Chain A
Amino acid sequence: MDFYFGLVQIIGVHTLLGLSAYIVLLTGQVSLAQAGFFAVGAYAAGMLTVLAGWHLVPALGASAVCGAGVACAVGFPALRIKGLMLVIATLAFGEGVRLFFFNFDYQVARGDIKVGPLGGEGFRQIRFFPEHGWTTGEVMLFIWVFVVAAMALLWWFDRSRYGSVLRAVGEDELAAQSVGINLTAVKVSAMTVGGAIAGVGGGIYAHYTTHIEHTSFNILLATFAIAYPIVGGLRNVFGTLLAVIFVQAFLIEGLRFLGDWRNLLFGALIVLAMNLRPSGFLGARRRA
Chain B
Amino acid sequence: MLDFFQSVSDGVLFGATYALIGIGFTLVFGVMHKLNMAYAAASVGGAYAGLLVLKVMSAAPPVLVFLGAFAAGGVLGWLVYLTCFHFIPLSSPLATLMSTVGMLLLIDEIIVHVTEGMPQNYPAMFDDVMLRAGDFTMRGDLLLVFGVAVLCMVALMLLLYRTRLGLATRAVSQQPVAARLCGIRLEQVNATTFIITGLLGGIAGALIGASVGTLSPLLTTPLTVKGLIVTVIGGLGSVPGAIVAGLLVGGFENVLQLYRGVTERDLYVMLLLFVFLTFRPDGIFAPKGGRD
A91–B271 CB distance below 8 A: no
Interface residues of A in 70-106 (CB under 8 A from B): 77-78, 80-81, 83-85, 87-89, 91-93, 95-96, 99-100, 102-103
With contact pairs A99-B264, A270-B101, A278-B89 given, residues A264 and B274 touching in the complex (Cβ less than 8 Å)? no
CB distance from A169 to the nearest CB of B (A): 15
Interface residues on B, range: 35 or more
B106–A89 CB distance below 8 A: no
Pick the residue among A84, A223, A268 that contacts B101 (CB under 8 A): A223
With contact pairs A92-B273, A96-B270, A96-B271 given, residues A230 and B263 touching in the complex (Cβ less than 8 Å)? no
Which chain A residue has the least Cβ–Cβ distance from B224?
A: A219
Pick the residue among B83, B89, B274, B277 that contacts A271 (CB under 8 A): B83
How far, in angstroms, from A274 to B278 measured CA to CA in the complex?
A: 34
Interface residues of A in 257-276 (CB under 8 A from B): 260-261, 263-264, 266-271, 274-275
A77–B221 CB distance below 8 A: no
In the complex, identify which listed stretch (B42-50, B61-69, B107-115, B139-147) lies at the interface while the others stay far away.
Answer: B107-115
Interface residues of B in 117-146 (CB under 8 A from A): none
Cβ contacts under 8 Å, B88 to chain A = 274-275, 278
How far, in angstroms, from A89 to B106 measured CA to CA in the complex?
A: 24
Cβ contacts under 8 Å, A269 to chain B = 102
Interface residues of B in 236-292 (CB under 8 A from A): 236, 263-264, 266-267, 270-271, 273-274, 277-278, 281
With contact pairs A95-B270, A103-B267 given, residues A85 and B232 touching in the complex (Cβ less than 8 Å)? yes
Which chain B residue has the least Cβ–Cβ distance from A263?
A: B109
Cβ contacts under 8 Å, A83 to chain B = 93
How far, in angstroms, from A120 to B35 measured CA to CA in the complex?
A: 31
Cβ contacts under 8 Å, A267 to chain B = 102-109
With contact pairs A84-B29, A274-B99 given, residues A92 and B228 touching in the complex (Cβ less than 8 Å)? yes
Interface residues on A, range: 35 or more
How far, in angstroms, from A263 to B104 measured CA to CA in the complex?
A: 12
B270–A99 CB distance below 8 A: yes
Cβ contacts under 8 Å, B94 to chain A = 25, 30, 230
Pick the residue among A87, A264, A271 that contacts B84 (CB under 8 A): A271
A230–B274 CB distance below 8 A: no
Cβ contacts under 8 Å, A218 to chain B = 221
How far, in angstroms, from A188 to B70 measured CA to CA in the complex?
A: 44
A274–B35 CB distance below 8 A: no
Interface residues of A in 212-230 (CB under 8 A from B): 218-220, 223, 226-227, 230
With A84-B29, A85-B281 given, name 14 new contacts (CB 8 A).
Answer: A85-B277, A89-B274, A93-B274, A99-B270, A261-B113, A263-B112, A263-B113, A264-B106, A267-B105, A267-B106, A270-B99, A274-B84, A274-B95, A275-B83
The 8 closest A-B pairs by CB, nearest first: A267-B106, A270-B102, A267-B105, A278-B95, A96-B270, A278-B92, A274-B99, A271-B102
Q: Name 30 A/B residue pairs within 8 A (Cβ), A-sorted.
A: A30-B97, A77-B278, A80-B277, A84-B34, A85-B232, A89-B273, A91-B228, A92-B225, A92-B228, A92-B229, A92-B273, A99-B263, A99-B264, A103-B267, A219-B221, A223-B101, A223-B105, A227-B98, A227-B101, A230-B98, A263-B109, A263-B112, A266-B102, A267-B102, A267-B105, A270-B99, A270-B105, A271-B84, A271-B102, A274-B102
Residues of B within 8 A of A (CB): 29, 33-35, 83-84, 87-89, 92-99, 101-110, 112-113, 221, 224-225, 228-229, 231-232, 236, 263-264, 266-267, 270-271, 273-274, 277-278, 281
